[in-house]
Amino acid sequence: MKIIMLGAPGAGKGTQAIMLADKYGIPHISTGDIFRSNIKAGTELGKKAKEYMDQGLLVPDELTTDLVVNRIEEEDCKNGFILDGFPRTIPQAKCLQEALKEKNDHMDFAVNVDVKAENIIKRMSGRRACPNCGATYHIESSKPKVEGICDRCGHELILRDDDKPETVKRRLEVYDDMTRPLIDFYTEEGILVSVDGSRDINVVFEDITKILEGKA
Ligand code: AP5
Ligand code: MG
Ligand code: ZN
């Protein structure tokens, strides 16, 4: 199964993507996580990406697209994968489509996790993230078993640099301008499905799995 997670910043793409990856045993590929681990490791890519991410702007397509196109060539992706945070622009979507078409392949679903902007601001301010495995928690709605520690891998949790309210606002504007058009793009492709992401995490998850397994 090859799945794209679409949705505004903070809609719950990462939360759902990790649950889906665990359930179906396919890799979770988050461009945001890849950039953050490059920042942490001090790579050239990390240095470049940080300039944009700290301002709530998109990292340029040329730094992003090849990264993903190469990643999905890897052995662990042969039974499918989940893209979280990619594509984020129409040119990225077209490059992905071309790369798959060359192998006579295509994406199966683009899952749009739909949440209103006012809910999103609240979610982001309470988010805690695992810099090691990418899992996300919330100080009220999705607490880890031990405060400050990741349930999945035991790493210490952090606050993301781009979760400051003014940066969140910019990220939401950038989403509206650059990424929201992908909803129409994937509707035209015939693979868009939408879920109401404002409900409980497990209810949203159940909805998505029903759709993916053809029961909805
Ligand atoms: P990225 O890391 O992808 O961030 P984002 O899209 O802004 O999304 P988030 O990770 O903030 O939110 P999410 O939807 O994953 O929500 P989560 O599950 O954590 O990208 C960061 C930056 O990298 C970008 O700004 C850009 O600069 C750059 N970048 C990345 N990809 C790029 C690309 N392709 N092209 C160019 N630039 C790129 O949930 C949020 C919170 O809510 C958590 O605390 C969670 O516990 C909680 N929560 C989740 N679901 C629920 C629920 N149902 N009910 C209550 N709480 C919930
Ligand atoms: Mg995320
Ligand atoms: Zn972890």
Concatenated DSSP letters of 130-163:
-TTT--EEETTTB--SSTTB-TTT-PBPB--GGG
Instruction: For residues 107 and 52, give the distance between their C-alpha atoms in angstroms, rounded to a whole number.
Output: 28
- C-alpha dihedral, 100 to 29 to 186 to 212, nearest 10°: 100
How many angstroms separate the alpha carbon of residue 167 from the centre of ligand 3? Answer: 24
Residue 121 lies inside a defined structural domain of this protein: no
**64 alpha carbon, closest ligand:** 1
Integer CA distances (angstroms), 15 to 22, 186, 215, in order: 11, 22, 22
Query: How remote is the CA of residue 20 from the centroid of ligand 2, in Å?
Result: 14
pLDDT tens readout for residues 52-108: 999 999 999 999 999 999 999 999 999 999 999 999 999 999 999 999 999 999 999
Q: Is residue 36 part of a domain?
A: yes
User: Quick one: pLDDT at residue 121?
Assistant: 86
Q: Which ligand is nearest to the CA of 93?
A: 1
Within-domain flag for 155? no
**The predicted structure's pLDDT at residue 117:** 85
Mutate to test the pocket of ligand 1, among 30, 58, 65 (most ligand atoms within 8 A of CB): 58
Q: Is residue 32 pLDDT above 80, yes or no?
A: yes
**Which atom of ligand 1 is the closest one to the Cα of 68?**
34
Q: Which of 1-5, 83-87, 95-99, 123-127 has the lowest mean pLDDT?
A: 123-127
In a domain, 18, yes or no: yes
Number of domains in the chain: 1
**Section 20-25 average pLDDT:** 97
Question: Whole-angstrom Cα distance, residue 94 to residue 69?
Answer: 11
The pLDDT value recorded for residue 216 is: 67
Q: Is residue 200 part of a domain?
A: yes
35 lines ligand 1 (CB under 6 A): yes
Say if residues 28 and 5 touch (Cβ distance below 8 Å): no
Residue-wise pLDDT tens digits, 164-215: 888 999 999 999 999 999 999 999 999 999 999 999 999 999 999 999 999 7
- Greater confidence, 124 or 74? 74
145 is a domain residue: no
Residue 79 lies in a domain: yes
Please indicate, yes or no, if residue 128 is contained in any of the structural domains.
no
pTM score, whole prediction: 0.94
Cα gap 2→105, rounded to integer Å = 10
Domain that holds residue 194: 2-116+165-212
Nearest atom, ligand 1, residue 87 CA: 34
- pLDDT given at position 164: 85
pLDDT value at position 8?
96
Can you give the CATH number for the domain in which 43 is found? Answer: 3.40.50.300
Q: Which residues are catalytically annotated?
A: 13, 88, 127, 160, 171
